[in-house]
Amino acid sequence: MAPFEQILAQSSFSKEDLICLLNSSDKERLMLFEKAKEVKAAFVGKKVYFRGLIEYSNYCKKNCYYCGIRSGNSRFARYCMTDAEVLEAVDYAYRNDYASIVIQSGEQTNKAFVTKIESLLRRIHQQTDGRIHVTLSLGEQSEETYRRWFEAGAHRYLLRIEVSNPSLYSKLHPNNLSHDYHRRLDALKTLRKAGYQVGTGVMIGLPFQTISDLADDLLFFRDFDIDMAGMGPYIEHADTPLYQYKDQLLPLKTRFDLSLKMVAILRIMMKNINIAATTAMQTIDQQGREKALMVGANVIMPNLTPVKYRQDYLLYENKPCLDEEAEECKSCLEARIHMAGDTIGYGEWGDSKHHSERNT
Ligand code: 5AD
Ligand code: SF4
Ligand code: FES
């Protein structure tokens, strides 16, 4: 066997192996993708699960250097969806058999916010007879808050580590306690302890980030034994501090290709976790999400946010689906999933198999 094939045939990868896989091109790159496709079919099947995405609010107390809705950016309007709007989006998901939703928002930790989320969770549970599973993506919170929300019915949580290298983390965030790498890591551990299925992820192609960093990110996912992953290319936003490095970035196509490789390698490494085909992938490539599905992703997030708010939730530029109502995103994604040769797990929660196997 050629050395590349030998690496692919292994059951676990060293950091050197990962770097070699990330650097693959031509025939070898296609072999990597083919292997990931086989692993996906064998371990999680060719079914894709919907998570209806509710971008609840763009208020954020943080000031991450890469993000368009950072607190320091005042060039757009801040909003928070009303209870009625949230419950209407939930109702859409329920009627259309999505089975799962994600509530995402900028980071807020005040008492009113925590209580509001708790009461919304209870109302969602009531309104849907507990048939809709809720994933939260609401940033770093106290252990008590994570526990309260779990009690109120949320069982999955997404909190990206963003980059697993602490010194790179500090270059991408202001230097203060609310942007501290170790606090973020602790938050991930607390989520696990509180009983959640835990998802994390990174951005790919950031300024100062190296291939070695990306290999470390993959090792981080393995060592933390994550249940779910959401990764995507970094896309610059003009109203953020990191924009000054735009000329040093890898070309968009390269960032996209590296993101595909990260998905494929992670699928081979962690065979039964859930991996999202993220919206950022489609920002660079028209067929970005289908391509991610073809190399291992098995979760997709149709947008349910009312259209009037969409242009105010721009974490990065050129985000797709700004004018498309829930119905349009639904049929668009149905077509895309079909093109990727997969089917949609309507009515199924699609919990992380990795999580259930760890707990049995
Ligand atoms: N490009 C790509 N992804 C971004 N995010 C924030 N800003 C950007 C950007 N400029 C991602 C972060 C965050 C998630 C909600 O959006 O990884 O965790
Ligand atoms: Fe806020 Fe998240 Fe954007 Fe950071 S990445 S500024 S925490 S919304
Ligand atoms: Fe929204 Fe395609 S997913 S328009």
Does residue 348 line the site of ligand 3, with CB under 6 A?
Answer: no
Q: What is the pLDDT of residue 11?
A: 84
Closest listed ligand to the CA of 245: 1
Q: What is the pLDDT of residue 2?
A: 82
pLDDT-derived band at 184 (thresholds 50, 70, 90) equals very high
Index of the ligand 3 atom closest to the CA of residue 321: 1
Q: What is the pLDDT of residue 29?
A: 98
pLDDT-derived band at 36 (thresholds 50, 70, 90) equals very high
Closest listed ligand to the CA of 307: 3
Average pLDDT of every residue of the chain: 97
CA–centroid distance, 351 to ligand 1, in Å, is 24
14-359 belongs to which CATH class? alpha beta
Strands 343-344 and 47-50: what pairing?
parallel
Index of the ligand 1 atom closest to the CA of residue 162: 17
Q: pTM for the full model?
A: 0.98
Nearest alpha carbon, ligand 1 atom 13? 160
* Residues 70, 64 contacting (CB under 8 angstroms): yes
> Per-residue pLDDT averaged across 15-21, rounded?
98
Q: CA quadruple 235, 315, 330, 353: dihedral positive or negative? A: positive
Residues making up the chain, counted from first to last: 360
Burial of 152 (0-12, 13-18, 19+ CB in 10 A): middle
pLDDT tens per residue across span 45-78? 999 999 999 999 999 999 999 999 999 999 999 9
How far apart, in whole angstroms, are the C-alpha atoms of residue 293 and residue 245?
Answer: 31
pLDDT above 90 for 358? no
> Per-residue pLDDT averaged across 327-349, rounded?
94
Q: What is the pLDDT of residue 109?
A: 98
Beta strands in the chain (DSSP E): 47-50, 52-57, 100-105, 133-137, 154-158, 197-200, 203-204, 228-233, 274-277, 299-300, 343-344
What single letter denotes the amino acid at residue 321? Answer: C
Nearest alpha carbon, ligand 2 atom 2? 106
Any idea what DSSP says for residue 173?
Answer: S
Q: What is the pLDDT of residue 162?
A: 98
pLDDT above 80 for 360? no
Does residue 201 line the site of ligand 2, with CB under 6 A?
Answer: no
Index of the ligand 2 atom closest to the CA of residue 60: 1
How far apart, in whole angstroms, are the C-alpha atoms of residue 101 and residue 176?
Answer: 32
Q: What is the pLDDT of residue 67?
A: 98
Closest C-alpha among 289, 353, 333 to residue 40: 353
CA–centroid distance, 179 to ligand 1, in Å, is 15
- For residue 157, give both structure tokens: 């949580």
pLDDT tens per residue across span 294-320? 999 999 999 999 999 999 999 999 999
Distance from chain centroid for Cα 68:
17
* 183 CB neighbour count, 10 Å cutoff: 11
Nearest alpha carbon, ligand 3 atom 3? 329
Helix (H/G/I), strand (E/B), else coil: 125? helix
* Residues 261, 203 contacting (CB under 8 angstroms): no
* Residues 135, 154 contacting (CB under 8 angstroms): yes
Strands 133-137 and 154-158: what pairing?
parallel
Q: 43's torsion region: left (phi>0), alpha (psi -120 to 50) or beta?
A: alpha
pLDDT tens per residue across span 240-288? 999 999 999 999 999 999 999 999 999 999 999 999 999 999 999 999 9
How far apart, in whole angstroms, are the C-alpha atoms of residue 256 and residue 55?
Answer: 24
pLDDT tens per residue across span 123-138? 999 999 999 999 999 9
How far apart, in whole angstroms, are the C-alpha atoms of residue 319 and residue 235?
Answer: 9
- For residue 327, give both structure tokens: 């119905």
Does residue 328 line the site of ligand 3, with CB under 6 A?
Answer: yes
Domain limits, the chain:
14-359
CA–centroid distance, 72 to ligand 2, in Å, is 11
**Cα dihedral: 266, 272, 277, 278 (round 10):** -70
Q: What is the pLDDT of residue 19?
A: 98
Across the strands, what pairs with 107?
none
How far apart, in whole angstroms, are the C-alpha atoms of residue 329 and residue 321?
Answer: 7
How far apart, in whole angstroms, are the C-alpha atoms of residue 242 and residue 173?
Answer: 10
Terminal-to-terminal C-alpha distance of the chain = 37
Residues 6 or more apart whose Cβ sits within 8 Å of residue 304: 52, 53, 54, 89, 92, 93, 101, 326
Q: What is the pLDDT of residue 277?
A: 97
Binding pocket residue ranges, ligand 1, CB within 6 Å: 66-67, 160, 162, 203, 232, 234-235, 237, 280, 315-316
pLDDT tens per residue across span 145-164? 999 999 999 999 999 999 99
- For residue 234, give both structure tokens: 């970094």
pLDDT-derived band at 330 (thresholds 50, 70, 90) equals very high
Closest listed ligand to the CA of 313: 2
Q: What is the pLDDT of residue 1?
A: 81
CA–centroid distance, 137 to ligand 1, in Å, is 12
* 130 CB neighbour count, 10 Å cutoff: 10
- For residue 232, give both structure tokens: 């995507």
> Per-residue pLDDT averaged across 5-9, rounded?
96
Beta strands in 189-338 (DSSP E): 197-200, 203-204, 228-233, 274-277, 299-300
pLDDT-derived band at 44 (thresholds 50, 70, 90) equals very high
Percent of the chain topping pLDDT 90: 98
What single letter denotes the amino acid at residue 144? Answer: E
pLDDT tens per residue across span 186-238? 999 999 999 999 999 999 999 999 999 999 999 999 999 999 999 999 999 99
Q: What is the pLDDT of residue 90?
A: 98
Q: What is the pLDDT of residue 256?
A: 98
Q: What is the pLDDT of residue 47?
A: 95
